[in-house]
C-alpha cells in the first residue's frame, strides 16, 4: 500500500476488515474520525450505504414556483415546525430590499459543530435560472423529513451544517418569466449587474461596482469558513469547476483553454460526483445542436468560456472553499410541471456532492498548551492555493487518497511540515502542535509564492483578501485587451448559463 520507505507506525483495521497502514508523524496524531464514512458510503456494506428512496412531501411543498413571499412563508413555517433541525437567517438584502434568506439544516442548526464542516448551496444567482431555487427548497424538505427515517441523511446532518441560500438574486427572479428558456431578462440584479461577474478576480482587475448581493456573500463567507459549495445555474447541463478565469484570455476567445487549479484532481472528482449521480448529466449530451457537449458531464470553467469576477474562483482563492458551478437545466426557466422531473434527476447528486466535505484531511492547529491557533496559514505541499484555520484552530481540506505534506505557518510559531495520508473510507484527523518561535530566531520564511515566469502559480490565499499584486505575466492583462475579452464574455453570457 505504501510505496515510500517511511516507517509505518500504526496499522488500523477498519470494521470492513481491510487493514490500512497509517503513518503517524512524530508527536502528531492521526486517528479514525468519529464520522467514519465506512458504514454509510457505497461499497462498504453498511446500513446507510445510500440515501433511501424518498417520496417528495408535496403537501408541505408543491412542485410549483415560489415567488419571494411564498418562499419566505415556506422557510418561516419550516423553521417553526422543525426548530431542532433548521435555523433561518438573512445575509442581507437585495437592491430592491428582498431578504437574502439562508436556511441552515443540521442537527446543530444554531451552532457550528467543533471540527465538523460547514457547507453551502447557492441558487438563482442569475435571476432567470429558476430550477435551482426550487430544487433547494425541495432539498430542505427532503433533509428535514428524512432525518428520522434515513440513516444516511441522519449521518449527514449529524456531521455537517448545510447552509442553503435558495435565491441570491430575488429581484432578477421577480423580473423573469416562467417558460423562458433563453435570454437575459431577469438574469441581472435590478441595477443590471451580473452577480456572477461581480466578485474580486485573481487574474484580471474587476472594475464592476460591487453590488449589495455580492457584498452580502463576501461578508457571509468571511464569517463562516465553508469547506464545500455548489452554485446552481440553468441554461446547460454540466458541472463546471475552477478556474473560470485565466491569465491569458485574450487569445483564447475563439478556442478556450483550460485554466486548472492545483486541486484539479479534487475538482474533477467533485464534479464527477455530481454528474455521475445525476440521471442524465454524465452522458454529456448537448442541450441543443449548436451548444457544446461535455465529456462525462463536466468541464473546466475557462475551457468552456473564460469569465472575470465569478463566484467560484473567489470562494476558492480567497477562502479555500471548493465551489463548483452546477448547471442543472437546459431551459433556464422551464414550465412548473417539469419541476418534479428536475428534482428526481438531481436529488441524489445534491446529497452525494455535499457528503464529499467528509473526504480528505481535517484537524486543529494548536499551541503547546492545546490552545487553538486562529488564522494559521496552511498549504498542501505542491498545491499552492492556501487555506487557514478558524478561530477554534480548525481546518479542513478535501483531498483524494494519497500521501501528502501539510505546511503550517502561524505568527510567533516555528513553521512545521507534517506528513499524512488520506484514504478513501474516512477523513484523516490531524492535529498539529506549533512551538513558539524564540525572539532571536529571526523572521521566518513566509509562504508567499512568486508567479513562475511562464506558468501561472496562484499565491496563498490570505485571510480577508489576497495580496493586491495580480499576475502580470501576460499582455492580455492590460486595459483595452482585457476589456475586449470581457466584451466577448458578456456576449457569451446570454447564450450559456
Between 135 and 408, CB nearer to ligand NAG: 408
Kindly state the smallest distance separating residue 157's Cβ from Zn ion, in Å: 28
C-alpha cell at 419: 506528513
Query: Can 323 be counted among the known catalytic residues?
Result: no
Residue 458: contacted member of Zn ion, ligand NAG, none (CB under 5 to 8 Å, by partner type): none
The Cα–Cα gap between 160 and 103 comes to 14
Distance CA(8)–CA(221), nearest Å, equals 39
Task: State the minimum distance, in angstroms, from the CB of residue 203 to ligand NAG.
Answer: 37
Closest CA to 145 of 60, 247, 70: 60
- Residue 126 binds which entry of ligand NAG, Zn ion, none, CB below 5-8 Å type-dependent: Zn ion
d(CA 286, CA 304): 13
Burial track 328-351 (b if 16+ CB lie within 10 A, e otherwise): bbbbbbbeeeebeebbebbbbbbb
Helix axes 339-355, 151-159, angle to 10 degrees: 60
CA distance linking residue 20 with residue 425, whole number of Å? 10
Write the secondary structure of 22-64 as one string of H (helix), E (strand) and C (coil). ECCCCCCEEEECCCCHHHCCCCCCCCCCCCCCCCCCCCCCCCC
Residue appearing with cell numbers 481540506: 397
Which CB atom, from 118 or from 129, has the smaller least distance to Zn ion? 129
Catalytic site residue from 129, 134, 213, 327: 327
Q: Which does 291 bind (CB under 5 to 8 A by kind): ligand NAG, Zn ion, none?
A: none
412 contact, one of Zn ion, ligand NAG, none, CB 5-8 Å limit per kind = none
We find the least distance from the C-beta atom of residue 118 to ligand NAG, in angstroms, to be 17
Measured CA to CA, the distance from residue 177 to residue 333 in angstroms comes to 7
Positions that interact with ligand NAG (CB under 6 A):
29, 31, 83-84, 364, 370, 429, 431
Nearest-approach distance from CB 414 to ligand NAG, in angstroms: 19
Rank residues 85 and 311 by Cβ distance to Zn ion and give the closer one: 311
Per partner kind, with CB cut-offs from 5 to 8 A, the member of ligand NAG, Zn ion, none near residue 497 is Zn ion
Which residue lies nearer to ligand NAG by CB, 227 or 461? 227
Q: Which residues bind Zn ion (CB under 5 A)?
A: 126, 129, 233, 497
Minimum distance between the CB of residue 32 and ligand NAG, rounded to whole angstroms? 9
Residue number of the CB closest to Zn ion reads 233
Name the minimum Å distance from CB 461 to Zn ion. Answer: 25
Closer of 126 and 358 to Zn ion (Cβ)? 126
The smaller minimum CB distance to Zn ion, of residues 233 and 359, is found at: 233
DSSP-assigned letters across all residues of 463-478: TTS--SPPP-SSGGGS
Cα Rg of the chain (Å, integer): 22
What the block records as the C-alpha cell of 362 is: 481535517
- Residue 429 near which of ligand NAG, Zn ion, none (CB within 5-8 Å, type-dependent): ligand NAG
What positions carry a catalytic annotation? 327
Amino acid at each position: 500500500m505504501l510505496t515510500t520507505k517511511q516507517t509505518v507506525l500504526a496499522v488500523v483495521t477498519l470494521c470492513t476488515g481491510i487493514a490500512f497502514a497509517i503513518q503517524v508523524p512524530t508527536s502528531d496524531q492521526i486517528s479514525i474520525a468519529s464520522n467514519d464514512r465506512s458504514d454509510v458510503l457505497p461499497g462498504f456494506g453498511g446500513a446507510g450505504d445510500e440515501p433511501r428512496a424518498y417520496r417528495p412531501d408535496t403537501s408541505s411543498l408543491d412542485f410549483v414556483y415560489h415567488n419571494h413571499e411564498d418562499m419566505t412563508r415556506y422557510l418561516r413555517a419550516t423553521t417553526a415546525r422543525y426548530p431542532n433541525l433548521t435555523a433561518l437567517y438573512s445575509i442581507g438584502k437585495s437592491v430592491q430590499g428582498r431578504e437574502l434568506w439562508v436556511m441552515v439544516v443540521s442537527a446543530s442548526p444554531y451552532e457550528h459543530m467543533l471540527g465538523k464542516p460547514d457547507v453551502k448551496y447557492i441558487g438563482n444567482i442569475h435571476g432567470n435560472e429558476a430550477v435551482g431555487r426550487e430544487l433547494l427548497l425541495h432539498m430542505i424538505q427532503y433533509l428535514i423529513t428524512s432525518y428520522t427515517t434515513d440513516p444516511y441523511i441522519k449521518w449527514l446532518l449529524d456531521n455537517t451544517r448545510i447552509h442553503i441560500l435558495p435565491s441570491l438574486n430575488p429581484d432578477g427572479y421577480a423580473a423573469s418569466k416562467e417558460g423562458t428558456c433563453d435570454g437575459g431578462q431577469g438574469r441581472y440584479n435590478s441595477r443590471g449587474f451580473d452577480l456572477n461577474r461581480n466578485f474580486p478576480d485573481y487574474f484580471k482587475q474587476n472594475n464592476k461596482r460591487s453590488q449589495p448581493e455580492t457584498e452580502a456573500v463576501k461578508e457571509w463567507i468571511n464569517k463562516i469558513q465553508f469547506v464545500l459549495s455548489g452554485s446552481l445555474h440553468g441554461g446547460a447541463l454540466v458541472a463546471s469547476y475552477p478556474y473560470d478565469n485565466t491569465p491569458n484570455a485574450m487569445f483564447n476567445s475563439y478556442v478556450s483553454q483550460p485554466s486548472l487549479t492545483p486541486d484539479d484532481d479534487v475538482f474533477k472528482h467533485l464534479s464527477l460526483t455530481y454528474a455521475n449521480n445525476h440521471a442524465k448529466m454524465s452522458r454529456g449530451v448537448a442541450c441543443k445542436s449548436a451548444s457544446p457537449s461535455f465529456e462525462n458531464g463536466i468541464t473546466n470553467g475557462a475551457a468552456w468560456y473564460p469569465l472575470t469576477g465569478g463566484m467560484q474562483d473567489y470562494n476558492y482563492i480567497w477562502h479555500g472553499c471548493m465551489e463548483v458551478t452546477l448547471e442543472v437545466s437546459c431551459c433556464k426557466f422551464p414550465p412548473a410541471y417539469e419541476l418534479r422531473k428536475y428534482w428526481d434527476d438531481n436529488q441524489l447528486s445534491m446529497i452525494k456532492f455535499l457528503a464529499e466535505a467528509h473526504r480528505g484531511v481535517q484537524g486543529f492547529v494548536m499551541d503547546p498548551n492545546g490552545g487553538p491557533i486562529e488564522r494559521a496559514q496552511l498549504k498542501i505541499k505542491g498545491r499552492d492555493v492556501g487555506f487557514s484555520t478558524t478561530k477554534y484552530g480548525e481546518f479542513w481540506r478535501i483531498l483524494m487518497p494519497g500521501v501528502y505534506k501539510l505546511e503550517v505557518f502561524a505568527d510567533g510559531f516555528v513553521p512545521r511540515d507534517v506528513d499524512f495520508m488520506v484514504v478513501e473510507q474516512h477523513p484523516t484527523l490531524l492535529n498539529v502542535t506549533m512551538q513558539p518561535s524564540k525572539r532571536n530566531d529571526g523572521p521566518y520564511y513566509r509562504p508567499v509564492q512568486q508567479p513562475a515566469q511562464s506558468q501561472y502559480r496562484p499565491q496563498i490565499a490570505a485571510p480577508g483578501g489576497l495580496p493586491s499584486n495580480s499576475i502580470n505575466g501576460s499582455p492580455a492583462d492590460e486595459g483595452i485587451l482585457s476589456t475586449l475579452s470581457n466584451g466577448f464574455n458578456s456576449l457569451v453570457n446570454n447564450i450559456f448559463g
